[in-house]
Structure 1
Amino acid sequence: MAELSPYLSFADNCEEVFNFYKSVFGGEFLTLMRFGEHQTECPYPADESHKIMHVALPIGKHTILMGSDMPGNMEPPMNGTNFSITITPESKEEAQRIFDGLSAGGTVTMPLSKTFWAESFGMFIDKFGVSWMVNF
């Protein structure tokens, strides 16, 4: 079976976003590359060499959350407007920790609570505009 790894694109704050996600999920980045560190076929303005070309953060046994900044000469990214990332924790306590951590500074659209299909389910848009669902 193929594995699915969400890939998020940002205008210029990918490093801030992924440091926030790392503070919630823990772990270490598998990869963190900047445009200025590598020769690339992707053209970018010289003053954007500090931007993130690729970052990868494991957030589960088989899931890697990935992302990058989009160079200013490319189309702007759509942050969280047409999808939600759903995460399925291994315990109710972990669901609460992840929900509280990721929703901090964002907008809760459905508080984490019991539903007819889940012991705990909640939805929010994080402070970076990415839509999440927590389902335990």
Structure 2
Amino acid sequence: MSTTLLQPYLFFGGRSDEAITFYRTALKAEVVMCMHYKESPEKSPMPLPPGWEEKVMHAEIKIGGASMLLSDGCGEEQKFGGFSLSLVYQDEAEAKRAYEALSAGGEAHMPLTKTFFAKAFGMVQDRFGVNWMVMVPAAA
């Protein structure tokens, strides 16, 4: 029997180093690995914009028990739409801390509040344009 793992892979269009620093603070993310284009053992098969060798070719951060992959891509425009990343906490204070941290420089779409399905639920778009849902389940 094979195991499948779904991992989000986000492209930050030149802002990956900034995003990694932000998520380390906002979400207590741990950097598992980070390779810049200049560190690659092979030249990129894609043409890169001037100065792009300093940009992130591939990185992995761990948020809680989940990993998120990220890159600056190859110079294409950064676009996030049609999805949200969901953070599920057991502790309301920790959920509030994460929600407020993600809101800094971003935009709150729904305040963190009690709902019929959660002790706390809120939606926010961070300063990079990534949509997040922060939740403490009713059963927690």
Relative to the length of structure 2, the TM-score reads: 0.86
Pick the aligned partner of 2:57 from 40, 46, 53. 53
| Residues 77, 127 of structure 1: alpha-carbon distance in 2 compared, 3 angstrom cutoff | closer
1:42-72 CA-partner distances (Å, limit 9, x unpaired)? 32245210000011111022x1122000222
Residue in 2 that maps onto 1:69: 72
Task: Provide the rounded CA distance (Å) in 2 between the counterparts of 1:123 and 1:133.
Answer: 5
| Residues 42, 135 of structure 1: alpha-carbon distance in 2 compared, 3 angstrom cutoff | farther
Deviating runs (4+, > 6 A) in structure 1? none
Relative to the length of structure 1, the TM-score reads: 0.88
Q: What's the RMSD between the two structures over aligned residues?
A: 1.6
Which piece of structure 1 moves more, 114-123 or 89-98? Answer: 89-98
Unmatched tracts of structure 2, length 5 or more: none
Identical amino acids, percent of aligned pairs = 36
Residue in 1 that maps onto 2:11: 9
Q: Contact between 2:29 and 2:64, CA under 8 Å: does it hold in 1?
A: no
Pick the aligned partner of 1:21 from 15, 20, 23. 23
Give the superposition deviation at 1:27: 4.6
| Residues 125, 27 of structure 1: alpha-carbon distance in 2 compared, 3 angstrom cutoff | closer
Which piece of structure 1 moves more, 33-42 or 10-19? Answer: 33-42
AA partner of residue 6 (structure 1): P
Higher strand share: 2
Task: Provide the rounded CA distance (Å) in 2 between the counterparts of 1:67 and 1:49.
Answer: 16
Task: Provide the rounded CA distance (Å) in 1 between the counterparts of 2:111 and 2:74.
Answer: 36
